[in-house]
Amino acid sequence: MHDIEQSYWWFTGRQFLVKTVLERLRMNSFERGKILDVGCGTGIILKLLEDFGQAFGTELSPEAIHFLKQRDLNLVVQSDANLSIPFKDNTFLAVTCLDVVEHIDNDRSLIEEIFRVCKPGGHVIVTVPAFGFLWSTHDVALHHKRRYSKKQMLMKIRHLNWKVIKCSYYNTALFLPILTARKLQGFLLNHRPVQSDFSIKLPAWINKALSVLFLLELRGLKYLNFAFGVSLLLILQKPSEVGT
């Protein structure tokens, strides 16, 4: 991840997505509050969050912590999201949890923890892989527990009374090619080594073309909700008064 997340089309697109969402929420117009990235990996998103507030992170992997220190990201707590988020209630103006929920055994518990540490009136940005029928060796290699439909994710948060600002699939333009490739993989490549799609080295021109296509789609996501896609985005707001 550390080697490719500044150039690979999917990672650069996700950075653009988070940046535009935070700008839309006018995070950069607020007094610099605290922002949390749950499962911050090697830190490319956490570095971006520093432009919007005092950025904190949680991460389990010692290898990832090593790369975080290389990026001078020191406000990181090593913790297991399967257990709890080690911060007090109502601490953060915004919380990002990007492609993490699908790794957690008790995903409902993690969602409740995110709700707990977010300030009333604060926002949460969650992304997860979409649709169980897209399951492939990519998911196995990344240690996913599941993929989600829009209905499933909305059911996970219904009891928390969050305001849903946006719930949309994305990475829609590549949905059919990816679906086709993964179905063929299941039928024809039963003995293929378990590896992530990210391990496939792309020619520079293909990576550039995919980047342009993805960025165009993400610009449209600001105004549209897509009915299908490879990933799912939720933008949520915690009620100003819990229980209202």
- Tally of structural domains, the chain: 1
pLDDT classification of 201: cutoffs 50, 70, 90: confident
Q: Which of 23, 49, 29 is nearest to 37 (CA)?
A: 49
pLDDT in tens, 104-156: 999 999 999 999 999 999 999 999 999 999 998 889 989 999 999 999 999 99
CA distances from 191 to 37, 98, 144, 183, 188 (A): 37, 30, 20, 14, 9
In a domain, 1, yes or no: no
Res 199 pLDDT > 90: no
Per-position DSSP letters for 73-115, written without gaps between them: ---EEE--TTT---S-TT-EEEEEEES-GGG-SSHHHHHHHHH
Select the more confidently predicted residue: 64 or 15: 15
Average pLDDT over residues 178-183: 86
Task: Check: CB of residue 13 under 8 Å from CB of residue 211.
Answer: yes
Predicted local confidence at residue 122, as pLDDT: 94
- In this prediction, residues 163-173 reach a mean pLDDT of 97
Rounded to whole angstroms, what are the CA distances from 39 to 95, 98, 129?
11, 8, 15
User: Within a domain: residue 186?
Assistant: yes
Q: Which residues pair with 97 in a beta bridge?
A: 126
At 244, the pLDDT band (50, 70, 90 cuts) reads very low
User: Is residue 4 situated within a structural domain?
Assistant: no
Please answer whether residues 173 and 217 qualify as being in contact, where contact means their C-beta atoms are separated by less than 8 angstroms: yes
More confident residue, 66 or 213: 213
Domain that holds residue 125: 9-237
* Predicted confidence (pLDDT) per residue in 214-225, tens digit: 999 999 999 999
What contacts 24+ positions apart, CB below 8 Å, involve 48-51?
A: 48/15, 48/18, 48/19, 49/18, 49/22, 49/96, 51/19
In this prediction, residue 226 has a pLDDT band, given cuts at 50, 70 and 90, of very high
What pLDDT digit, counting tens, does each position of 72-109 carry? 998 999 998 888 899 999 999 999 999 999 999 999 99
CA 74 to chain centre: 21
Is 219 within a domain? yes
CA distances from 20 to 28, 44, 55 (A): 11, 15, 17
Any idea what the CATH number is for the domain that residue 144 is in? 3.40.50.150
